[in-house]
Structure formats: C-alpha cells, structure tokens
C-alpha cells in the first residue's frame, strides 16, 4: 500500500502520518524532515533555505527524485510532504488543510517564538515554495484535484483524523 499525506506547514501532516504509520505498520518517509535537515546543514533557517532553493532547483529536485524513487520501489509506506501526492502515481493521496492562524499557532506551540514572527516566516516560506513548485514542476499547490481525500484538521484532532483516514484506508478498493 502506498499512501501520500500532504499539507502546508502546521496542518498536521507529520503527526497524522506518524500515527497512521504506527496504526498500519507502515514505514514513513518525510520530505519536510529532509528539507529541515538540509537547511540545518547549510546553517540556515527555513525561510533563508527556501530562498536559496528558489535559486537552486537542485535542492527540490533531490528531494523530489528521492520521493519518486521510494514510491516506485517500496511497498507499505507513507510519503509525507507537500508534493508527495504529485510524486507518487499510484497511491491513496490525502491533503490535510487548516487556516493559517491555526497552523501558525501549532508551529509556535511546537517551535516556540512569537505568533507574529512565525506568521511572517510561514507566509514567506509558503510563498517561496509556491514559486518553486510552479517553476520547477508547473504545480499549483492550491489545486487539490490530484488528491483522493481533503480533510480539515481544524475540525478534528490528530487522533480523530487518523481514525477517519484509517476508515478510508481499510475500505479503499485499491488495497
């Protein structure tokens, strides 16, 4: 079974992916963790690294190529990342959404800092990513048509979302 979980920062994709991974005994691969670790290796925050990635397509291409390779060569995995649904051809594709205020509050709770500071960073990061996705892949990140399920994480907590998605996974005719 191949499952992709995508969404903007703070929407809950990593948490839900980990819970689904545990519940269904699936390996989880996170593009965000790869991106964050690369930013750290370069000694940059996410906004700075995103700006660098805008001028150096190889950063996104490395992450994307890895996801495509994993999607083609592994079974029983969850690919978690903004473009995971676009990188895997045959998968149950999920988008988790939430308002920017809810997402930024979650980011502040997770990372610390002020709401205003994290809001500014989040908006800059999302704008940077949107430019890169359009330029590199011709992908409009706001177009959800590639996804089989779109769920709003404002309405339910991570455990309820995991239960809802588990029901979909257990009843999906492709698996």
The conformation of residue 88, written as its DSSP 8-state character, comes to: -
Please tell me the predicted confidence (pLDDT) of residue 159. Answer: 97
Give me the DSSP letters along 12-66.
SHHHHHHHHHHHHT-EEEEHHHHHHHHHHHTT--HHHHHHHHHH-HHHHHHHHHH
Please tell me the predicted confidence (pLDDT) of residue 138. Answer: 93
Please tell me the predicted confidence (pLDDT) of residue 174. Answer: 65
- In a domain, residue 25? The reply is yes
- In a domain, residue 173? The reply is no
- In a domain, residue 89? The reply is yes
pLDDT at 77 over 60: yes
pLDDT at 110 over 80: yes
pLDDT at 175 over 70: no
For 55-59, 65-69, 141-145, 166-170, which range has the lowest pLDDT when averaged over its residues? 65-69
- In a domain, residue 175? The reply is no
Average pLDDT across the chain, whole number: 89
- In a domain, residue 142? The reply is yes
* CB 129 within 8 Å of CB 81: no
Using N-to-C axis directions, what is the helix angle for 46-55 and 57-73, rounded to 10°? Answer: 90
- In a domain, residue 174? The reply is no
Q: Which is more confident, 67 or 133?
A: 133
CATH of residue 102's domain is 3.40.50.300
| pLDDT tens-digit map of 120-162 | 999 998 998 898 889 888 999 999 999 999 999 999 999 999 9
Give CA torsion, residues 120, 122, 123, 129, to 10 deg: 140
Number of domains observed in the structure of the chain: 1
Please tell me the predicted confidence (pLDDT) of residue 54. Answer: 77
Measured CA to CA in angstroms, residue 115 lies from 99, 103, 111, 112, 153 at distances of 14, 10, 11, 9, 19
Token couple for 130: 């949107």
Q: State which residues form the domain around 141.
A: 2-168
pTM, 2 dp: 0.85
Neighbours of 117 (CB within 10 A): 12
Please tell me the predicted confidence (pLDDT) of residue 100. Answer: 97
- In a domain, residue 83? The reply is yes
- In a domain, residue 92? The reply is yes
Q: Which is more confident, 36 or 79?
A: 79
């Amino acid at each position: 079974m191949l499952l992709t979980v995508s969404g903007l920062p703070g929407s809950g994709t990593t948490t839900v992916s980990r819970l689904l991974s545990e519940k269904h005994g699936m390996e989880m691969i996170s593009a965000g963790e790869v991106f964050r670790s690369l930013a750290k290796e370069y000694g940059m925050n996410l906004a700075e690294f995103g700006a660098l990635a805008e001028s150096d397509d190889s950063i996104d291409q490395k992450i994307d190529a890895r996801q495509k390779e994993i999607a083609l060569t592994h079974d029983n995995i969850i690919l978690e990342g903004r473009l995971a649904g676009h990188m895997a051809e045959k998968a149950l594709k999920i988008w988790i959404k939430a308002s920017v205020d809810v997402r930024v509050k979650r980011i502040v709770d997770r990372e610390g800092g002020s709401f205003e500071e994290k809001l500014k960073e989040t908006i800059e990061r999302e704008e940077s990513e949107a430019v890169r996705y359009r330029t590199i892949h011709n992908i409009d990140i706001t177009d959800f048509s590639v996804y089989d399920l779109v769920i709003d994480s404002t309405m339910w907590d991570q455990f309820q979302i995991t239960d809802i998605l588990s029901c979909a996974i257990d009843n999906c005719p492709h698996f």
